[in-house]
Structures are given as C-alpha cells and as structure tokens.
Structure 1
C-alpha cells in the first residue's frame, strides 16, 4: 500500500487519530463470525447493552513498530490475546481464539500500513482491541451478543524531551478490591482511578500509587502501570498480588533483567514503609515502556530514589534493551515478535 498520510511524526502525542480501517467481529448464537475490516469508526449498539449498564467490557493495548529495514512488527501479541481472554472469562464474555486475535491485529496494521510511523521517530502504531457486551438486555446477566473490535492510532514517544523521572503520591483510594477485577483489564478499574489521578495531578504529582486494598501496606500499582524497584544489591523487584494487572511490559523487563543484564529477579511483596531498599524505581506499561520514578510521597514525606532529575543506570539499560528489541535492533527472545507481512 503506497498511500501516504500528512502527519508530523515527531509531534504526535497519545491521542485519537482516525485511521482508515478497523476490524469488527460479532458473537451471536454461541459463536464468533469471520470478522471483517470496516471504514466506519462509529459503533451502533442497543440501548440495553450490558457494556453501557453493567460494565461488561474489556480491552487491550499493544503496538506495531517499524524496523530500520522498513519491516513492521508486533510485540508479543499472543500475551495480549491471553490476557484479554482472562478478562473475558472474569466478566463471563466469550473468549477470542488466540489466532483470531492475532490475525485481527495483523489485518488492521496491514490495512493502515501508511499510519505506521517511520523508524527513528520514536513513534509507533498503537492498537486497541476491545470486547463489549451488546444486544437487547435489561437484567443483570451476561449479554446475549458481543462485539470484538480492533482499531489503531499512530502515537508519539511518551517522553517528548527524553526520559525524565517524575514523582508520585500514595493514594488513600483503592484501585480494586482484594478479590475484585484488579487482575484483569476492564474499564471499571480505570473509571475508579480518574478521581485519585486528578487529585494527585492537582498537587503536582504525575499520578498516584495504589496500595493493596486489604492492608494498605504494600505497593500494588502506579497509576495505570506496574511498579518495579532496583535494590542496593542489584535485584529487580516487582510486587506480586492477585489484584495487580499482569503487565506484559513488566514480564518482558523481568526476562531482560535476568537473561540480558544477569540480575536476580523477585516478584514479591513491596512494603511502602521499606522504600529505602531501592536505589532506583520505575513504572512500566505499554505506553511509556518505563516511567522512571524520582520520588514517592507517603505520609507527607517524599522518598527520593536515584534522582529527581536523572534516570538511574539500570532503568536506562532496561529501557534501551526493551526498545531495541521492539524496534528490531536487538535479537528478540523466541516468540516475542510477530512480523506483519
């Protein structure tokens, strides 16, 4: 496809841009249809849809990257497929076969190939798969029908002026309940985070840290991202809890820390009153890969890690290695990359 788009790749933010095609598939009478690409970016559903009233919906986020030699590759889409199915099971929605999910993503990238930013711009093509409960319904029960769709938008680098550490504050609010939906990617978790986020930003912080809902003593998530810390004895540590969303970026970083940087990796409880065990800290997720944490405010006191102005050396190494893998500059572990042909 030789179409061109008039976009300033260097000035893209993380915002919606209508692209040419999106993939749509419907589930009805116990099965998914074949799915197809459509041009219309409007979704028309019944006013009784469970997605509107009872929050029966989930989503994913992943990216396509252009390599130095012009190829396009997806980063670990099989992991997004698995996580989406985990969300679907939790909300009693039909699962998407993994091949169907990956095929839908590939179709969308190919159809919007001219929106994949060039190598070297720091930009990428963000994909947003989602599943919603639709159809005429009134009672609190699973929907009679479902819609699975994937759309895409070109997005800029998360850090405009280069990677900079930011500060976070600990929230009194809970992101999720102990046995709730914190471990799956459903909209309600994000709706609940809007108010605490706004309060944190008003006080000059990037976002807030959520503690475990049962005891409020352990770090769970950083805004909509996972936390990690580097200890004085060079261990990569990240919290473990059933109410943390399993970040694909986090598990990728754990692998890189162990296999590429030769570090010890621990997934365990991280107590908020023991921050001094870490010399560096960060938040990780699809959008930014890593957001370095300068400091965390807890009970009126700001605990600073490596620096509030400079990124720590291990954090920098982890970031550079993962981005190099995503862009095809570094050999990827088996199965991490799916080339869009």
Structure 2
C-alpha cells in the first residue's frame, strides 16, 4: 500500500494511479474468476480487435465516502446493465451484474485510502471496461476478451463547482442516426475530440466555451448531447423537467436519476422529448449531467451568430440547484436514497 499524499481540496479530474485493479479474461466461452493486480499496463496481442476495429466499451461510476464513514456505490446495477447493452451492440460477452458489482466492490475496498474524505466534494471514480483481444486480423469478433475495473480519486469535472458554463453548437455529428450513439463505446468519444477542441478554442463576443453541443444527426434541429454529457432543461414556468429522447443518445444513469428526483422529490412534470435549438426561449434553466460532471449548469448556448442565455451566466438556477443538492445528498448519504440506489461497499 502506497502512502497517499493528495490535496483533496484541489483535486481535479485526472488520472492518479491507485494500488490495485480487477482483471478477468474471457476465453473458450467463459469468464475466469478474475483477480486484483498491481499492474496498470495491459499486455495484449497486436492483432486485438480493440486496437483495429474499436471493439471495446466502458463505464463510469463513483464511490462516495458517506458522513458516517461508510462507502456508497451509486446505482452500479444500472452501469452493469448499460455495459451489457454496449457489449451486445458490439458482439462482446458481458460480465454479469453480480460479477460487475463484485469487481467494483473489490477495487474500492482495495483502494479505500484513495477515497476522498466526506466533505471535500471528491469521490473515487471507477472505470470498468471490456476489450476484444487475442491474435486476429479479419473484421470479426475477438477470440478473447478482457474485463477490467480501475479507479482514481477525482474532484469536479468542470472547475468552479456548481458554476455555469457556456457551450457552442458544433457542425459535427456525435453519432449516426442508427449507429452506436446509445452504446458507451470509445469510437463515439474519439469522434468528439476534434469538435470538443474546436469548442474550447472558439470565442464569440468575448465568451469562451466549455464544450460542444451536438444536434440530432438526421435533421440538425434538436439538441441531443452536451459534449460527453446529457442535457436537461426547465420550462419557463419552472414546472417541467425536459430531456432529449433519441436512439442516438447515450442513456445516462445520472439523467434518469434526475428524472426520478424531479418527479418524485421536487414534484415537477417530466418529459423525454424534443428540445429544438431554435426554441430555447421556452426554457429558463439548462444543465449538462453525467457521472463525471454530475450537473453543470449551462449559462448559455452559442448557435451561429446567436447566443441564448438561460437563468444566468454567473449562477445556477433554483431548480438546477435543488436537483444538484438532492442528487449529491443521495450519493453522499445525507439524503435518503430511493430503494436500491445505494450499494454499500
């Protein structure tokens, strides 16, 4: 066990090597039992399908230090289910829900000393992934696979806590209409690197932007995703929570958790529907949501020559703040969680 000397108050969202990670191999039709290893380097065949044909998928979830000292995993069964869907889309064997959660438990327990203390706002980010490996050259599913889970302590994805960020609409598409947009596969993220970099380099009327906004690939009239996160908006009357619905959107566990919280905790109407880029004046608040970002309020969106401001460019709106407080309270154990949402490590 290495000594941990981390400035928890200034922890960013970057890789920090931890002590142990879980690794299991699939061969001859079955996963082996898997084990923890100190080795953070993968040794794979040069013909591995993950390298040549993008046959790989991944997940992201967090472990939280609760106020009573216990450790919370937030909805890991939902991450397991999404990984299973991604594996099915890419013709890969998927770990069972039980195997997935147990691997996450083992990794968190083995690296507990890297878990940021309660009250710092930090968490232990877990990255499970499945990749196709083994000797191969043709375009086909791999003969072998690796399932692994590693972790790293993280702070906020965007600096500034619950501070609004501005975004700019990209001319690129995140995914094809009937492609892999709903699967959490690396190719979707590789395709986002260029538009994301362009968004961060862009300036309009003295404003800078945190990331790109992607419109629907079929008509380019509706917002689908915000960089690597899902979108939500609040109607002008403050009564309805709306989030885009499309077969090319990644089904965010954070988004569906917020849908539940908005309806059952805040008493809002909820909708999964279209959010048209030319009708943003229907909404008083907007946010990007995901495991890494949790909630990032959207100050405004640049579309062509027009910049639309929601609640404010400097502070989060009241509904967004209530959603954030409720969600993070559940994750850190200060607010009672819906049944089945928290798994203790």
* TM-score of the pair, normalised by structure 1: 0.98
Query: 1:159 Cα shift?
Result: 4.8
Determine the structure 1 residue equivalent to 2:216: 212
SS of the equivalent of 2:197 reads helix
2:236 pairs, out of 232, 235, 254, with 232
2:238 maps to 1:241: no
2-structure distance, mates of 1:293, 1:43: 38
2:81 maps to 1:106: no
Determine the structure 1 residue equivalent to 2:288: 283
2-structure distance, mates of 1:197, 1:187: 15
1:303 pairs, out of 294, 299, 308, with 308
1-structure distance, mates of 2:147, 2:157: 27
SS of the equivalent of 2:302 reads strand
2-structure distance, mates of 1:4, 1:98: 33
2-structure distance, mates of 1:326, 1:190: 26
1-structure distance, mates of 2:9, 2:310: 31
Query: 1:157 Cα shift?
Result: 2.9
**Count of residues paired in the alignment:** 339
1-structure distance, mates of 2:155, 2:228: 18
Give ranges in structure 1 of 5+ residues lacking alignment: none
2-structure distance, mates of 1:159, 1:333: 27
RMSD: 1.0
2:265 maps to 1:266: no
1-structure distance, mates of 2:327, 2:192: 28
SS of the equivalent of 2:326 reads helix
Give ranges in structure 2 of 5+ residues lacking alignment: 203-207
1-structure distance, mates of 2:242, 2:160: 28
* Residue-by-residue CA offset, 1:211-269 (whole Å, 9 max, x unaligned): 00011011100001001000023200000000000000000000000000000000011
Runs of 4+ with >4 A deviation: none
Query: 1:161 Cα shift?
Result: 3.4
Query: 1:156 Cα shift?
Result: 1.4
Determine the structure 2 residue equivalent to 1:179: 178
SS of the equivalent of 1:99 reads helix
Determine the structure 2 residue equivalent to 1:10: 9
2-structure distance, mates of 1:42, 1:48: 17
1-structure distance, mates of 2:189, 2:88: 19
Determine the structure 2 residue equivalent to 1:46: 45
SS of the equivalent of 1:209 reads strand
Query: 1:163 Cα shift?
Result: 1.6
* Residue-by-residue CA offset, 1:57-85 (whole Å, 9 max, x unaligned): 00000000001110011000000000000
Query: 1:6 Cα shift?
Result: 1.6
2-structure distance, mates of 1:114, 1:35: 22
2:320 pairs, out of 306, 311, 315, with 315
Question: What are the equivalent positions in structure 2 for 1:319-338 lying under 5 Å apart?
Answer: 319-338=324-343
Determine the structure 2 residue equivalent to 1:339: 344
Query: 1:8 Cα shift?
Result: 1.3
SS of the equivalent of 1:226 reads strand
Determine the structure 2 residue equivalent to 1:170: 169
2-structure distance, mates of 1:228, 1:197: 19
Determine the structure 2 residue equivalent to 1:83: 82
Determine the structure 1 residue equivalent to 2:193: 194
Query: 1:158 Cα shift?
Result: 3.5
